[in-house]
């Protein structure tokens, strides 16, 4: 099945094609069927409790995002001709379908880059708007900051507060991270967290690569922007605290090329999303404060070292966290970057629960091997041999800055691998 149809409970499909997937938005289906799932159950109630009333267009973007991640989980890559690239036909019901038609091509192109698949979007018009209480509580907040439970997002929140900002944090509820998200928000203020979930439920095997997952996080950030004040230019600011090395995620060996490397905060994706939001009239600026910094530099330069050090060990970095019983594996690329960053910042690594694999020299991890190959190539042929065409979106000073952060991040990993006796 390569077609996914999303709908609301008020407007059920007349017929269910056995060769398509169906997802009910915002509620659970009354009847159980093998090819019918649901997404975002309870989200509207969460919004009401948060006392945030978004525009119809913003809520439409949430519908788009939830529909995308549902399709991303429903359509298995292994069934595609090359075992990876899918042709996804996605039907989405919207309140302002005609307005979204203006940016449909840009959305499809953005999703193509994000997930590595070919997307065909079809927008259908909802006969009635989704009713929400017309009330937004004044929290006296002046920006939105993503709070994932990771290292960069924690430091990002700390730095914003140290600069005198009053952020409203937005978190996507994730098992294993939810309690820490609340802990970090509470350490930085009161009544400052919107913690929402778009929980997806479906029967059978699900695709676990989920390359498109970050779009929901940004959709939630857009919702949260309706709960903060605008700056002097009349814009709402959304801070995306992610270090530049991870954002670029340049493959360290040929097996990681293309969409096999995640693009969750890649500059191309961020630029595309900003352009779409601009065209739809959202007065929002996406800001990546650490786009030219490594994770080690983010830690080293944090504006409140004592607070950061008291909380940082509970943060989550691992790409396989849930698979290892909510422990860091220690050998995936995000774990290697994490471990290297502590070394860069002259910090003893006391990560909660430790690492499943502590000694790098005894592992057979492909990620460790890829990192070692990348370092070896860099030392023999220089940084440009790894970058190749990965920075063709940037020019001039931007390209220099991106190349610099990638090189410095790679050197942090190199130092880790040497200490770990891999090199």
Tens of pLDDT, residues 67-76: 999 999 999 9
What's the confidence (pLDDT) of residue 1?
A: 57
- Three-state secondary-structure class, residue 4: strand
Partner residues linked to 194 by β-bridges = 170
Rounded Cα distance, 202 and 27, in Å: 13
What's the confidence (pLDDT) of residue 138?
A: 73
Q: How confident is the model at residue 258 (pLDDT cuts 50, 70, 90)?
A: very low
Residues 377 and 408 in one domain: yes
Rounded Cα distance, 147 and 224, in Å: 12
Domain-embedded: residue 292:
no
Q: How confident is the model at residue 282 (pLDDT cuts 50, 70, 90)?
A: very high
Is pLDDT of 415 > 50?
A: yes
Residues 243 and 121 in one domain: no
Residues 171 and 65 in one domain: no
Domain-embedded: residue 236:
yes
Residues 331 and 398 in one domain: yes
Q: How confident is the model at residue 277 (pLDDT cuts 50, 70, 90)?
A: very high
* Burial of 103 per CB tally in 10 Å (0-12, 13-18, 19+): middle
What's the confidence (pLDDT) of residue 177?
A: 77
Is pLDDT of 326 > 70?
A: yes
Residues whose CB is less than 8 angstroms from the CB of residue 15 and which lie 6 or more positions away in sequence, other chains included: none
Rounded Cα distance, 248 and 251, in Å: 9
**Mind listing the pLDDT tens digit for each residue in 25-50?**
999 999 889 999 999 999 999 998 98
Strands (E), 204-358: 236-239, 284-287
Instruction: Using alpha carbons only, give the angle 414, 420, 421 rounded to the nearest 5 degrees.
Output: 90
What's the confidence (pLDDT) of residue 256?
A: 54
Residues 273 and 206 in one domain: yes
Question: Running DSSP on this structure, what letter comes out for residue 326?
Answer: S
pLDDT above 90: percentage of residues in the chain: 86
Range of the domain at 269: 143-287
Q: Is the dihedral of CA 14, 16, 20, 21 positive or negative?
A: positive
Residues 148 and 36 in one domain: no
Is pLDDT of 257 > 60?
A: no
Residues 359 and 413 in one domain: yes
Q: What is the mean pLDDT of residues 192-218?
A: 94
Token digits of residue 61: 């973007």
Nearest to 247 by CA among 377, 108, 405: 405
What's the confidence (pLDDT) of residue 255?
A: 56
Is pLDDT of 354 > 90?
A: yes
Residues 121 and 149 in one domain: no
Domain count, the chain: 3
Average pLDDT in the chain: 94
Rounded Cα distance, 227 and 52, in Å: 6
Question: Running DSSP on this structure, what letter comes out for residue 278?
Answer: H
Q: What is the mean pLDDT of residues 283-287?
A: 97
Token digits of residue 178: 């939810």
| Site of tokens 């079809």 | 122
Cβ atoms of 334 and 317 closer than 8 Å: yes
Q: How confident is the model at residue 322 (pLDDT cuts 50, 70, 90)?
A: confident
Residues 268 and 340 in one domain: no
Residues 155 and 274 in one domain: yes
Residues 272 and 327 in one domain: no
What's the confidence (pLDDT) of residue 134?
A: 75
Is pLDDT of 16 > 90?
A: yes
**Which of 287, 307, 325 is the endpoint of a domain?**
287
What's the confidence (pLDDT) of residue 253?
A: 79
Q: How confident is the model at residue 254 (pLDDT cuts 50, 70, 90)?
A: low
Residues 159 and 283 in one domain: yes
Domain-embedded: residue 131:
no
Is pLDDT of 352 > 90?
A: yes
Q: What is the mean pLDDT of residues 321-331?
A: 90
Cβ atoms of 336 and 367 closer than 8 Å: yes
Is pLDDT of 260 > 70?
A: no
Domain-embedded: residue 61:
yes
Is pLDDT of 390 > 60?
A: yes
Domain-embedded: residue 217:
yes
Token digits of residue 375: 């370092």
Domain-embedded: residue 308:
no
Residues whose CB is less than 8 angstroms from the CB of residue 88 and which lie 6 or more positions away in sequence, other chains included: 2, 4, 71, 72, 75, 117, 118, 119, 120
Domain-embedded: residue 395:
yes
Is pLDDT of 259 > 60?
A: no
**Which of 125, 151, 181 is the endpoint of a domain?**
125
Cβ atoms of 156 and 241 closer than 8 Å: yes
Q: What is the mean pLDDT of residues 304-310?
A: 98
Is pLDDT of 78 > 50?
A: yes
Is pLDDT of 368 > 90?
A: yes
Domain-embedded: residue 165:
yes
Residues whose CB is less than 8 angstroms from the CB of residue 391 and which lie 6 or more positions away in sequence, other chains included: 248, 399, 402, 403
Rounded Cα distance, 402 and 352, in Å: 32
């Amino acid at each position: 099945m390569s077609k996914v149809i999303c709908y609301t409970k008020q407007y059920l499909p007349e017929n269910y094609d056995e060769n398509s997937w169906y997802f009910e938005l915002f509620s659970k289906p009354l009847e159980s069927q093998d090819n019918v799932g649901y997404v975002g159950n309870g989200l509207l109630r969460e919004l009401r409790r948060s006392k945030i009333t978004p525009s119809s267009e913003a809520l439409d973007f949430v519908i788009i995002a939830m529909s995308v991640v549902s399709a991303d989980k429903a359509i298995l890559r292994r069934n595609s001709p090359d075992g990876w690239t899918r042709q996804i036909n996605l039907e989405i019901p919207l309140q302002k379908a005609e307005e979204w038609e203006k940016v449909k091509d840009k959305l499809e192109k953005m999703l193509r880059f994000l997930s590595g698949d070919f997307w065909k979007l079809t927008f259908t018009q909802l006969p009635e708007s989704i009713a929400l209480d017309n009330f937004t509580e004044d929290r006296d907040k002046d920006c939105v900051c993503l709070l994932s439970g990771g290292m960069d997002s924690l430091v990002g929140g700390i730095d914003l507060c140290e600069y005198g900002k009053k952020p409203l944090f937005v978190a996507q509820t994730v098992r294993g991270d939810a309690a820490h998200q609340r802990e970090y928000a509470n350490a930085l203020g009161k009544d400052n967290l919107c913690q929402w979930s778009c929980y997806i439920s479906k029967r059978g095997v699900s695709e676990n690569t989920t390359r498109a997952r970050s779009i929901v996080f940004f959709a939630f950030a857009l919702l949260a922007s309706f709960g903060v004040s605008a700056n002097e230019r009349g814009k709402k600011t959304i801070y995306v605290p992610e270090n530049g090395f991870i954002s670029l995620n340049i493959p360290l060996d040929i097996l990681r090329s293309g969409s096999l490397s995640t693009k969750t905060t890649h500059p191309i994706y961020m630029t595309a999303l900003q352009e779409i939001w601009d065209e739809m009239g959202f007065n929002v600026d996406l800001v990546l404060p650490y786009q030219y910094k490594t994770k080690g530099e983010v830690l080293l330069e944090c504006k409140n070292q004592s607070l950061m050090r008291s909380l940082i060990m509970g943060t989550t970095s691992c790409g396989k966290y849930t698979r290892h019983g909510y422990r860091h594996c220690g050998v995936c690329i995000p774990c290697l970057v994490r471990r290297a960053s502590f070394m860069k910042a002259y910090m003893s690594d006391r990560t909660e629960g430790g690492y499943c694999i502590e000694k790098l020299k005894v592992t057979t991890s492909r990620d460790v091997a890829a990192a070692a190959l990348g370092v070896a190539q860099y030392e023999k042929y220089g940084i440009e041999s790894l970058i190749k065409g990965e920075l063709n979106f940037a020019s001039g000073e931007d390209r220099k800055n991106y190349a610099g952060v990638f090189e410095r991040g790679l050197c942090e990993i190199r130092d880790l691998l040497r200490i770990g006796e891999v090199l």
